[in-house]
Amino acid sequence: MKKKSVAGKIAPEVREVVRNRKARHDYTISDTLEAGIELKGTEVKSIREGRANLLDAFARIERGEAWLYGCDIQPYEKASHTQHAARRPRRLLLHKREIEKLGAASRIKGQTLVALRIYFKGPHIKVEIAVGKGKNFADRRQDLKKRDSQREVDRELARRKR
C-alpha cells in the first residue's frame, strides 16, 4: 500500500539498503542532504543484494562536482566479463546550488561531508550526505551520559503510567 503525500500524489516507497551507524557516533551532524548517485549496472544489482558498505565513505567537492569516496560496493557475482571496481569514486548528482552549499560547509575547519545511508526512493538509488564535525572523546562521553539519563527518565515515566 503506497502512502499519499500532502499534494495528493503517491509518495515513492523508501527502502534503506545500507546505513553508516558509526557516522553519528563519530560526528556531530548539522545538516543532511539527499543526492542521487551515478552507478554502473552491476553496482545497482549489487546494491539490490545489500552488498554495499559505507563505513569509510565521505564526499568531496572537486572542480564543481560532488564525488563519493570510500563507498565499497562489492562486485556482482552473476555478471559477465565486465565488472566494476569496488571502491572507485562515484559522482553524486546534485544541483549546482547544493554543491556550492556543501563546498562552503566543507571548507570550514573541522567539518567534513559524511555519507550516512544508501536507500531506494522508488526506482532510484539515493545517498544521504551530511555535514559533520568530528567528535572528540569528551563529546562522545557526554552523548553517552545524556542517552543514559534520558533512558532513566523514560523508564521512570513508564513505571508511573502503570
Please, which residues bridge with residue 153 across strands? none
d(CA 53, CA 161) in angstroms, rounded, equals 42
d(CA 94, CA 37) in angstroms, rounded, equals 9
Q: Is the pLDDT of residue 4 over 70?
A: no
User: Exposed, middle or buried, 68 (CB in 10 Å: 0-12/13-18/19+)?
Assistant: buried
Distances (CA, A) of 135 to 13, 112, 131, 159: 33, 12, 13, 34
Q: Is the pLDDT of residue 31 over 60?
A: yes
* Structure confidence at residue 42 as a pLDDT band (50, 70, 90): confident
Residue type, 17: V
Please report where in the chains the cell 527518565 appears, as a residue.
153
Looking at CATH, the fold of the domain delimited by 14-135 is given as Small Protein B; Chain: A; (2.40.280)
**pTM, to two decimals:** 0.77
Please report where in the chains the cell 522508488 appears, as a residue.
122
The DSSP result for 82-126, as a single string, is: ----TT--EEEE--HHHHHHHHHHHTSTTEEEEEEEEEEETTEEE
- The residue-averaged pLDDT of 49-66 equals 92
Rounded to the nearest integer, the mean pLDDT of the chain is 88
Q: What percent of the chain has pLDDT over 70?
A: 95
d(CA 46, CA 88) in angstroms, rounded, equals 14
Residue 145, C-beta contacts closer than 8 angstroms, at least 6 positions apart: none
* Structure confidence at residue 67 as a pLDDT band (50, 70, 90): very high
